[in-house]
Structure 1
């Protein structure tokens, strides 16, 4: 799988960390495993809550839960091709890079706050684990879709992508959270 692929959880995955989630795959290697960020779990925190920053656009940036692994780490995706060390995920979206330069761009107003998403923690899979989960039907792949990171609201992301896929996926998008209540 290529970086920039979106992974959508099946409606009844059974893991509260990934219920109705969309993950942006940032790295994948059959020998080393995979790394991704959950796009659909905003927190009540801002960057200013976890870093000592002066009031302003950088401090006000919301944080998302990127996954259950290492929740004390900070990760980011952005739209700044020239940021040193960034990994191209396709469609004008980049992962990581020089955080100090990103912060300087946000503080000076050179980078708009709508061009950056920040995450605490990440989602990770050991070698072969993600492939097994996909084979079992836990995840639905949506290749080359990184550009949607900045175009869809987190609360509608999962449903919107499934509807766009059409067919049986469109039907999945309408499944209730608890089928017993249907």
Structure 2
């Protein structure tokens, strides 16, 4: 049985060659990737809709800008919460959790680890369960999905660069700069791609 090497927790960065307007200059955090397909959220598509407008209880936990992000073209009427829990990437969390509960290294209740300190938030849970633990929260409307083998085909076609994520990517205060910022920090020829013009025909 051929096993798909999991890219969960990595970033897909759209190459300039990717023609799909849904993913132009997109930076996608992969939340799930296996032989059954892939699911992720686009980190750099803020909408004008405030978190307070649709999920008031979570608004004060959402990082700047406090808006809902369009996570992708699938299920735009559903919301996903992605949050970083400081100290969950293998470091020790600062101080006790305060409630004496031993989370066994799985992070706080209402949060499910995806990769390192990054995890999914149960938006049905009371926010106060998590408020002391979360470093940053971002709310996404919709997600990006790929069927079995579909992402592998796109990777083979050169549609995406695959790079390591950093916890700060989820909560970047300047999401419109994220595509260039992620490429610029790569220690190879990808750093050059960051200088690619928005419209190559103007070059």
Under a length normalisation based on structure 1, what TM-score does the superposition of the two structures give?
A: 0.84
Alignment pair present for 1:33 and 2:37: yes
Among candidates 42, 45, 59, match of residue 46 of structure 2: 42
SS at match of 2:48: strand
Change (3 A) 1:58 1:33: same
Structure 2 equivalent of residue 15 of structure 1: 20
2-structure distance, mates of 1:55, 1:35: 23
Change (3 A) 1:111 1:105: farther
Q: CA deviation at 1:61?
A: 3.6
| Matched positions, count | 174
Structure 2 equivalent of residue 57 of structure 1: 60
Bigger drift between 76-85 and 165-174 goes to 76-85
Structure 1 equivalent of residue 109 of structure 2: 83
Among candidates 104, 108, 111, match of residue 128 of structure 2: 104
SS at match of 1:86: strand
2:41·2:72 contact (CA, 8 Å) conserved in 1?
Answer: yes
Change (3 A) 1:151 1:72: closer
Greater Rg by CA: 2
More helix as a share of residues? 1
Structure 1 equivalent of residue 72 of structure 2: 67
Q: Which consecutive aligned stretches of 4+ in structure 1 deviate over 3 angstroms post-superposition?
A: 53-56, 58-61, 109-112
2:43·2:170 contact (CA, 8 Å) conserved in 1?
Answer: no
Under a length normalisation based on structure 2, what TM-score does the superposition of the two structures give?
A: 0.76
Change (3 A) 1:146 1:170: closer
2-structure distance, mates of 1:26, 1:111: 20
Spell out the pairing of 1:145-164 with structure 2 (5 A cutoff).
145-150=165-170, 152=172, 153-164=174-185
Structure 2: give runs of 5+ residues left out of the alignment.
Answer: 1-5, 86-106
